[in-house]
Protein backbone atom coordinates (compact mmCIF):
# COMPACT_ATOMS: atom_id res chain seq x y z
CA UNK A 1 0.00 0.00 0.00
CA UNK A 2 2.13 2.87 -1.33
CA UNK A 3 -0.19 5.81 -0.51
CA UNK A 4 1.35 9.00 -1.89
CA UNK A 5 4.69 8.74 -3.66
CA UNK A 6 6.82 11.73 -4.61
CA UNK A 7 9.75 11.74 -7.02
CA UNK A 8 12.47 12.80 -6.86
CA UNK A 9 13.27 12.97 -3.14
CA UNK A 10 16.17 15.34 -3.62
CA UNK A 11 17.21 17.67 -6.43
CA UNK A 12 19.69 20.47 -6.89
CA UNK A 13 19.06 22.99 -9.66
CA UNK A 14 20.83 26.04 -10.99
CA UNK A 15 18.94 29.30 -11.29
CA UNK A 16 16.93 29.33 -14.50
CA UNK A 17 16.71 25.57 -14.93
CA UNK A 18 13.38 23.82 -15.17
CA UNK A 19 12.14 20.64 -13.54
CA UNK A 20 9.02 18.67 -12.70
CA UNK A 21 8.06 17.02 -9.43
CA UNK A 22 5.80 14.00 -9.73
CA UNK A 23 3.18 12.97 -7.21
CA UNK A 24 1.38 9.65 -7.56
CA UNK A 25 -1.39 8.26 -5.33
CA UNK A 26 -2.97 4.82 -5.45
CA UNK A 27 -6.00 5.52 -3.22
CA UNK A 28 -8.35 6.80 -5.93
CA UNK A 29 -8.49 10.19 -4.20
CA UNK A 30 -10.22 13.06 -5.96
CA UNK A 31 -8.34 15.95 -4.40
CA UNK A 32 -4.61 16.51 -4.67
CA UNK A 33 -2.43 19.31 -3.34
CA UNK A 34 1.07 20.68 -3.59
CA UNK A 35 2.53 22.47 -0.55
CA UNK A 36 5.89 23.97 0.22
CA UNK A 37 7.33 24.00 3.71
CA UNK A 38 9.89 26.54 4.82
CA UNK A 39 11.35 27.12 8.30
CA UNK A 40 9.06 29.30 10.40
CA UNK A 41 6.43 29.46 7.64
CA UNK A 42 4.62 26.19 8.01
CA UNK A 43 2.96 24.48 5.05
CA UNK A 44 1.74 26.81 2.30
CA UNK A 45 -0.52 25.74 -0.53
CA UNK A 46 0.88 26.21 -4.03
CA UNK A 47 -1.74 24.63 -6.30
CA UNK A 48 -4.47 22.07 -5.91
CA UNK A 49 -6.80 19.91 -7.96
CA UNK A 50 -10.33 18.73 -7.19
CA UNK A 51 -10.39 16.16 -9.95
CA UNK A 52 -8.80 14.88 -13.12
CA UNK A 53 -8.26 17.66 -15.61
CA UNK A 54 -8.80 20.48 -13.08
CA UNK A 55 -6.29 22.68 -11.28
CA UNK A 56 -6.50 25.84 -9.20
CA UNK A 57 -4.15 28.32 -7.56
CA UNK A 58 -3.41 28.26 -3.89
CA UNK A 59 -1.72 30.74 -1.59
CA UNK A 60 1.70 30.93 -3.31
CA UNK A 61 1.29 29.89 -6.97
CA UNK A 62 3.74 32.26 -8.68
CA UNK A 63 6.60 30.54 -10.47
CA UNK A 64 4.88 27.14 -10.51
CA UNK A 65 2.58 25.29 -12.90
CA UNK A 66 0.67 22.06 -12.39
CA UNK A 67 -1.15 19.44 -14.41
CA UNK A 68 -3.56 16.63 -13.52
CA UNK A 69 -3.94 14.65 -16.73
CA UNK A 70 -4.59 11.42 -14.85
CA UNK A 71 -6.49 11.09 -11.60
CA UNK A 72 -3.63 9.38 -9.82
CA UNK A 73 -0.91 11.87 -10.83
CA UNK A 74 -0.34 15.52 -9.99
CA UNK A 75 2.72 17.21 -11.50
CA UNK A 76 4.37 20.37 -10.20
CA UNK A 77 6.58 22.24 -12.64
CA UNK A 78 9.15 24.97 -12.19
CA UNK A 79 9.76 26.68 -15.53
CA UNK A 80 12.68 28.85 -14.43
CA UNK A 81 13.89 27.99 -10.95
CA UNK A 82 14.87 30.76 -8.53
CA UNK A 83 16.75 30.54 -5.21
CA UNK A 84 13.51 31.59 -3.45
CA UNK A 85 12.05 28.26 -4.54
CA UNK A 86 14.51 26.34 -2.40
CA UNK A 87 12.18 24.43 -0.11
CA UNK A 88 10.71 21.08 0.82
CA UNK A 89 7.70 20.25 -1.30
CA UNK A 90 4.90 18.01 -0.10
CA UNK A 91 2.15 16.45 -2.11
CA UNK A 92 -1.06 15.39 -0.40
CA UNK A 93 -4.35 13.83 -1.40
CA UNK A 94 -7.78 13.15 0.08
CA UNK A 95 -11.12 11.68 -0.97
CA UNK A 96 -13.82 13.92 -2.41
CA UNK A 97 -16.32 15.85 -0.26
CA UNK A 98 -18.88 13.70 1.50
CA UNK A 99 -16.82 10.53 1.25
CA UNK A 100 -15.40 8.58 4.15
CA UNK A 101 -12.14 10.15 5.30
CA UNK A 102 -12.80 13.27 3.23
CA UNK A 103 -11.14 15.57 5.72
CA UNK A 104 -7.91 13.66 6.26
CA UNK A 105 -4.92 14.42 4.08
CA UNK A 106 -2.44 11.73 3.16
CA UNK A 107 0.98 13.25 2.58
CA UNK A 108 3.95 12.08 0.61
CA UNK A 109 7.42 11.94 2.16
CA UNK A 110 8.51 15.23 0.59
CA UNK A 111 10.90 16.41 -2.10
CA UNK A 112 13.82 18.60 -1.05
CA UNK A 113 14.73 21.08 -3.74
CA UNK A 114 17.77 23.37 -3.65
CA UNK A 115 18.20 26.13 -6.22
CA UNK A 116 21.68 27.58 -6.45
CA UNK B 1 -9.17 36.56 7.92
CA UNK B 2 -9.04 32.83 8.62
CA UNK B 3 -6.03 32.09 10.80
CA UNK B 4 -4.62 29.33 12.97
CA UNK B 5 -2.08 30.21 15.65
CA UNK B 6 -0.08 27.60 17.56
CA UNK B 7 1.90 27.93 20.75
CA UNK B 8 4.52 27.46 21.87
CA UNK B 9 6.64 27.57 18.73
CA UNK B 10 9.00 25.02 20.28
CA UNK B 11 9.17 22.98 23.44
CA UNK B 12 11.78 20.81 25.15
CA UNK B 13 10.74 18.30 27.80
CA UNK B 14 12.26 15.33 29.60
CA UNK B 15 11.19 11.83 28.72
CA UNK B 16 8.26 10.71 30.83
CA UNK B 17 6.90 14.21 31.39
CA UNK B 18 3.56 15.50 30.11
CA UNK B 19 3.05 18.51 27.88
CA UNK B 20 0.26 20.50 26.27
CA UNK B 21 0.28 22.19 22.89
CA UNK B 22 -2.15 24.96 22.03
CA UNK B 23 -4.04 25.91 18.88
CA UNK B 24 -6.19 29.05 18.59
CA UNK B 25 -8.19 29.67 15.45
CA UNK B 26 -10.27 32.36 13.85
CA UNK B 27 -11.95 30.35 11.11
CA UNK B 28 -15.51 30.78 9.99
CA UNK B 29 -17.53 28.82 9.35
CA UNK B 30 -15.77 26.10 11.34
CA UNK B 31 -16.06 22.51 10.14
CA UNK B 32 -13.48 20.52 12.06
CA UNK B 33 -9.97 20.63 13.49
CA UNK B 34 -7.29 18.03 12.97
CA UNK B 35 -3.91 17.52 14.59
CA UNK B 36 -1.04 16.13 12.53
CA UNK B 37 2.33 14.80 13.66
CA UNK B 38 5.32 15.38 11.39
CA UNK B 39 8.50 13.46 12.10
CA UNK B 40 11.74 14.98 10.82
CA UNK B 41 12.18 14.33 7.12
CA UNK B 42 8.69 12.91 6.63
CA UNK B 43 5.24 14.10 5.69
CA UNK B 44 2.58 14.92 8.32
CA UNK B 45 0.37 12.11 9.59
CA UNK B 46 -3.08 12.62 11.11
CA UNK B 47 -3.35 12.06 14.87
CA UNK B 48 -6.94 12.98 15.58
CA UNK B 49 -9.88 15.03 14.37
CA UNK B 50 -12.22 17.19 16.43
CA UNK B 51 -15.66 18.19 15.21
CA UNK B 52 -17.86 20.99 16.55
CA UNK B 53 -19.75 18.72 18.94
CA UNK B 54 -16.71 17.00 20.42
CA UNK B 55 -14.92 18.28 23.51
CA UNK B 56 -12.32 15.58 24.10
CA UNK B 57 -10.87 12.73 22.11
CA UNK B 58 -8.03 10.39 22.94
CA UNK B 59 -5.65 8.41 20.77
CA UNK B 60 -3.35 6.44 23.04
CA UNK B 61 -1.17 8.89 24.97
CA UNK B 62 -2.52 11.81 22.94
CA UNK B 63 -5.64 13.66 24.09
CA UNK B 64 -7.11 16.50 22.08
CA UNK B 65 -9.65 18.98 23.40
CA UNK B 66 -11.80 21.53 21.64
CA UNK B 67 -13.59 24.57 23.02
CA UNK B 68 -15.72 25.88 20.17
CA UNK B 69 -16.81 28.92 22.18
CA UNK B 70 -13.30 30.24 22.74
CA UNK B 71 -12.04 28.72 19.48
CA UNK B 72 -9.21 26.89 21.15
CA UNK B 73 -7.86 23.36 20.93
CA UNK B 74 -5.14 21.64 22.86
CA UNK B 75 -3.13 18.49 22.37
CA UNK B 76 -1.98 16.85 25.58
CA UNK B 77 0.77 14.24 25.48
CA UNK B 78 1.06 11.98 28.50
CA UNK B 79 4.24 10.21 29.63
CA UNK B 80 6.25 11.49 26.69
CA UNK B 81 8.62 9.21 24.78
CA UNK B 82 11.63 9.98 22.63
CA UNK B 83 9.54 9.04 19.60
CA UNK B 84 7.18 11.94 20.37
CA UNK B 85 9.88 14.34 19.18
CA UNK B 86 8.28 15.89 16.11
CA UNK B 87 6.42 18.89 14.81
CA UNK B 88 2.70 19.01 15.64
CA UNK B 89 0.48 20.86 13.20
CA UNK B 90 -3.06 22.07 13.80
CA UNK B 91 -5.28 22.23 10.69
CA UNK B 92 -8.77 23.73 10.64
CA UNK B 93 -11.30 22.98 7.90
CA UNK B 94 -13.54 25.78 6.70
CA UNK B 95 -17.13 24.64 6.44
CA UNK B 96 -19.13 24.58 3.26
CA UNK B 97 -16.21 24.74 0.84
CA UNK B 98 -13.77 22.42 -0.87
CA UNK B 99 -10.28 22.47 -2.25
CA UNK B 100 -8.38 25.17 -0.37
CA UNK B 101 -10.61 25.07 2.72
CA UNK B 102 -7.81 23.90 5.05
CA UNK B 103 -6.07 26.46 7.23
CA UNK B 104 -2.70 25.34 8.61
CA UNK B 105 -0.94 26.47 11.75
CA UNK B 106 2.84 26.85 11.63
CA UNK B 107 3.33 23.98 14.05
CA UNK B 108 4.94 23.36 17.43
CA UNK B 109 8.29 21.59 17.47
CA UNK B 110 8.55 19.20 20.41
CA UNK B 111 11.86 17.77 21.53
CA UNK B 112 11.84 14.99 24.12
CA UNK B 113 15.20 14.35 25.75
CA UNK B 114 16.38 11.46 27.91
What's the pLDDT tens digit per position in A51-110?
999 999 999 999 999 999 999 999 999 999 999 999 999 999 998 766 656 678 999 999
Span B41-99, pLDDT tens digits: 999 999 887 776 778 888 899 999 999 899 999 999 999 999 999 999 999 988 765 55
What is the C-alpha to C-alpha distance for residues A68 and A77, in angstroms, rounded to an integer?
Answer: 12
pLDDT for B49 equals 76
Give every CB contact of residue A104 below 8 A, 6+ residues apart in sequence.
A94, B34, B46, B49
Residues of A within 8 A of B36 (CB-CB) are 105
pLDDT of residue B98: 53
Pick among A41, A93, A103, A110 to test the B interface (most B CBs inside 10 A) = A103
pLDDT score at A102:
61
Which residues of chain B are within 8 Å of residue A48 when distances are taken between CB atoms? 99-100
pLDDT at B106 over 90: yes
Amino acid sequence: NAGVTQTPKFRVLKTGQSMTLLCAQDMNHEYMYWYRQDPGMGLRLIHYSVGEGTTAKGEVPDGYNVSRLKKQNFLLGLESAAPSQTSVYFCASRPGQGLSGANVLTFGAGSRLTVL
Amino acid sequence: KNQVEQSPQSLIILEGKNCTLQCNYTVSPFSNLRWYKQDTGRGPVSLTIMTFSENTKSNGRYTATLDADTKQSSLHITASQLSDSASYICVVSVGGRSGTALIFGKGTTLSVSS
